[in-house]
Amino acid sequence: MSSDEPFGVYVHWPFCKAKCPYCDFNSHVRHGGIDEARFLSGYLSELRHFAVRAPGRTVTSIFFGGGTPSLMSPHTAEAILDAIAGNWAVADDAEITLEANPTSVEAENFAGYRVAGINRLSLGVQALDDQSLKALGRQHTADEALAALDLAKNAFERVSFDLIYAREGQLLDDWEQELTRALVYAADHLSLYQLTIEEGTPFAARHAAGSLRIPDGDAASEMYLLTQALCEKAGLPAYEVSNHARPGSESRHNLIYWRGHDYAGIGAGAHARITETGTKRAIATIKSPEDWLTQVEAQGHGLQSDDPLDPQDVAEEYLLMALRLAEGLDLARLEALSGRAMDTSRLDALEGDGLIARNGTRLMATQSGRLVLERLILELAA
Ligand SMILES: C[S@@+](CC[C@H](N)C(=O)[O-])C[C@H]1O[C@@H](n2cnc3c(N)ncnc32)[C@H](O)[C@@H]1O
Ligand code: SF4
């Protein structure tokens, strides 16, 4: 693996104050507290494991995700950043992001995170009114979130925030007003997610029982198209299905995933892709935080699976990820990865249907194509 390609380190903090009823991320509530010092030594051990497997790389991006990594003390974040710098070279302009929940308690730590070396904050605002926040099971009010956003803009060079749309009872006009307000507050990046009903969550149970009514597919598509138009007009075009940025402020970390580069992933339930002796490997750690910690302490890593990907898997993963991007994928790279040429008559047909566009060797989903992305990917992968 060339050492000058982007390389990321993902750090998963698997704890939250409360579990939001829509969320199926690997996040757990521990009312009795956790032994943060013990977890920190687990993170440092697992970092050493990855450093041995990905030597000589230059880290271009670090991402503390969760769960709620803003429950981690600035001291713990700093110790992890120091250990990353001790194991690899870190680029001078590395993007170092922390995901934060916008409660006032967590906002008190922003200055400490900045001193620790975090230079980008991604804030989970989710909605701009208290009624919606309550319905989403959030632990903060809209005023608290906006105050946290102000603090973040003062403390960090780069700030993003997340909103969820197509929520219970939300109409197109409601979303237009909310997004218009959000664009006034926006710094350089916004993540705008359509509410997904995830299996096994309280929202899924209510949805199945008919007591949670969310906008149907057509209404959600209208909201998506409105989102594209308003963000584009405000100078934050979509560079990925749900992500918008001022040109040059795209999240470098997420681009590592979507462009198919390597990354290490530490902490319970993290994923990694590491190329060893020419073979890309899909690596995942144990999801239970306590089981992960027990194994790290015994074996120096908390890996649950570590499998080679065959060329077809690598090509499909690249197709799946890169088609989410406005820049699309490089057909020549896709063909080199899969070892087979794309069927040009199929590409012509999809282009004729207005679902894809081509520019030299690049292939991208059009706006209509992005609305049916799963179908498009299946057709292209066939
Ligand atoms: C896993 S959270 C971590 C950040 C932080 N804990 C928070 O909640 O703000 C990352 C983002 O995923 C999004 N998300 C989680 N579950 C979702 C769902 N079911 N539908 C849409 N977006 C979701 C939320 O916008 C959230 O900000
Ligand atoms: S949305 Fe964020 S705060 Fe809520 S449970 Fe998921 S990770 Fe935790």
Burial class (CB in 10 A: 0-12, 13-18, 19+), 13: buried
Instruction: Categorize the per-residue pLDDT at 3 as very low, low, confident or very high, splitting at 50, 70 and 90.
Output: low
Tell me the mean pLDDT in the region 190-219. 97
Q: Measured between alpha carbons, how far is 323 from 306 in angstroms, rounded to an integer? A: 26
Summarize pLDDT for 67-124 with one digit per residue, the tens: 999 999 999 999 999 999 999 999 999 999 999 999 988 889 999 999 999 999 999 9
Within 6 A (CB) of ligand 1 lie 22-23, 25, 66, 68, 99, 101, 124, 126, 162, 164, 193, 195-196, 198
Nearest-CA neighbor of 241 among 123, 369, 357?
A: 369
Percentage of the chain with pLDDT > 90? 92
From the CA of 196, how far away is ligand 1's center (Å)? 10
Q: Is 103 in the pocket of ligand 2 (CB under 6 A)?
A: no
Residue 16 CA, ligand 2 centroid: distance in Å: 6
Q: Of ligand 2's atoms, which has the minimum distance to the CA of residue 124?
A: 2
Phi, psi for residue 251 in degrees, rounded to 5: -70, 115
Q: What value does the mean pLDDT take over residues 304-325?
A: 94
Block residue for tokens 């995170």: 113
Task: Answer whether 251 contacts ligand 2 (Cβ < 6 A).
Answer: no
Both structure tokens of 303: 């890996």
Which pLDDT does position 104 carry in this prediction? Answer: 84
Q: Where are the alpha helices (DSSP H) in the chain?
A: 36-53, 74-87, 104-107, 110-116, 130-135, 142-155, 172-185, 202-209, 217-233, 252-258, 289-299, 311-322, 331-338, 344-352, 367-371, 373-381
Query: Which DSSP symbol is given to 61?
Result: E
The reply to whether ligand 2 has any atom less than 6 angstroms from the CB of 19 is yes
Per the prediction, the chain carries an average pLDDT of 96
Residue 196 in this model has a pLDDT that exceeds 60: yes
Between β-strands 189-194 and 243-245, what pairing exists: parallel, antiparallel or unpaired? Answer: antiparallel
Compute CA distances 344 → 347, 364, 380, whole Å: 5, 15, 11
Does the structure show a pLDDT above 70 at 344? yes
Distance 141 CA to ligand 2 centre (A): 15
Distance of CA 124 from the midpoint of ligand 1 (Å): 7
Position 39 confidence tier, pLDDT thresholds 50, 70, 90? very high
**124 C-beta closer than 6 A to ligand 2:** yes
343-358 average pLDDT score? 93
CB of 123 within 6 A of ligand 2: the answer is no
Please tell me the residue having the least CA distance from ligand 1 atom 21. 195
Q: Which atom of ligand 1 is nearest to the CA of 65?
A: 3
What does residue 31 show for φ and ψ, rounded to 5 degrees?
Answer: -65, -25
What pLDDT is recorded for position 2?
57
